[in-house]
Amino acid sequence: MKHPIPRLDPVLLEPKRLQICGALAVVDELEFGTLRDLLGVADSVLSKHLKTLDEAGCVALRKQRGSTGRPRTWIGLSTSGRRVLQGHVAELRRLAGDLGTELPSDPAAGNPVVSST
Amino acid sequence: MENNSSAASDLPVDQARAQLEDLAVAQQAVAARVVTPSWYHPALAGLVFVFIAGNALPRWSMVTFFVYCAGLVWLVTTYRKLTGVWVSGWNVRGGRGYAWLLLAVLLAALGVSYAVRWGDLEPWCAWAAAATSALVTWWAGRRLDTAFRAHLQTRS
């Protein structure tokens, strides 16, 4: 697997957006309410961040009708989002002087990437 | 509108570390959240038993196959609804081996049940194959959970 290019992404400089992508990187999908509870933010705040991430092509949103008729939104990290996150984390690790450590890659890091920079 | 244009690559060290810590916190939170309900693996094992054993019985094979498929759909839907998380076993580091093992055992058990159905083996072989595959399903499922949580805890 190719190593990510260490590069900070403007969208992920916002801590909550980085946390959203970090949480999504280790699973296939998270439900909106679950993600909201994990981050401890209001619905509106999460919606706003997801909109930004969606516009940047980092996440994939999927609506599913629940048994009560209320739609549930499932969120996953897109392929480009995963690449962006890997590059962002690689650069953060470089800046923090934490080299040679694992970086997020596949969900639950099936193929971990080791920073070589 | 937020201004993120200052994506300077000269982010201060303490800010970079803070961001990495935020990331670790989020992933730890996911690890704490991914707790498979205690009934999930026994139910899955039960469905596998019904599928393998039922396949050896010509009159019941269609019914048990339908029960197996419907049960799987219900199980996955309920799991997702309860936990709000979905993780594929194939994507868990260290989990792919268990998934392959499970697939191999299921295929072997299915082969045995077909052999029983066609009269090549004694009926007890189908029960043994069904019980073995159910136990392996239960065991591998729990190992997958453990592998996933252990991975999240060591990476953060």
In chain A, the domains with their CATH numbers are 10-96 (1.10.10.10)
From chain A, pick out residues whose CB is under 8 angstroms from the CB of B29: 23, 38-39
CA distance B7 to chain A (A): 5
Produce one character per residue of B67-92: b if its CB has 16 or more CB atoms within 10 Å, e if not. ebeebeeebeeebbeebbbbbbbebb
User: Model-level pTM?
Assistant: 0.76
- In whole angstroms, what separates CA B81 from the centre of its chain? 16
Q: Which of B9, B25, B91 sits opposite A28 (nearest CB)?
A: B91
Look at chain B and report how many structural domains it folds into. 1
Q: Which of A19, A38, A108 sits opposite B91 (nearest CB)?
A: A108
> What ipTM, to 2 d.p.?
0.73
pLDDT digit string, tens, across residues A23-58: 999 889 999 999 999 999 999 999 999 999 999 999
Instruction: Give the pLDDT confidence score for residue B86 in this predicted structure.
Output: 86
The verdict on residue B125 lying in a domain is yes
The verdict on residue B69 lying in a domain is yes
Q: Which of B24, B30, B96 sits opposite A110 (nearest CB)?
A: B96
The verdict on residue B75 lying in a domain is yes
Residues in chain B: 156
**Left if phi > 0, otherwise alpha if psi is -120 to 50, otherwise beta: which for A89?**
alpha
From chain A, pick out residues whose CB is under 8 angstroms from the CB of B9: 7-8, 91, 95
pLDDT digit string, tens, across residues B61-88: 899 999 999 999 999 989 888 888 888 7
The verdict on residue B70 lying in a domain is yes
CA distance A97 to chain B (A): 8
The verdict on residue B86 lying in a domain is yes
**Nearest-5° angle of CA B72, CA B27, CA B103?**
30
The verdict on residue B34 lying in a domain is no
The verdict on residue B53 lying in a domain is yes
Q: Which residue has the higher pLDDT, B38 or A111?
A: B38
**Nearest-5° angle of CA A85, CA A98, CA A19?**
35
Residue B99 structural domain: 42-155
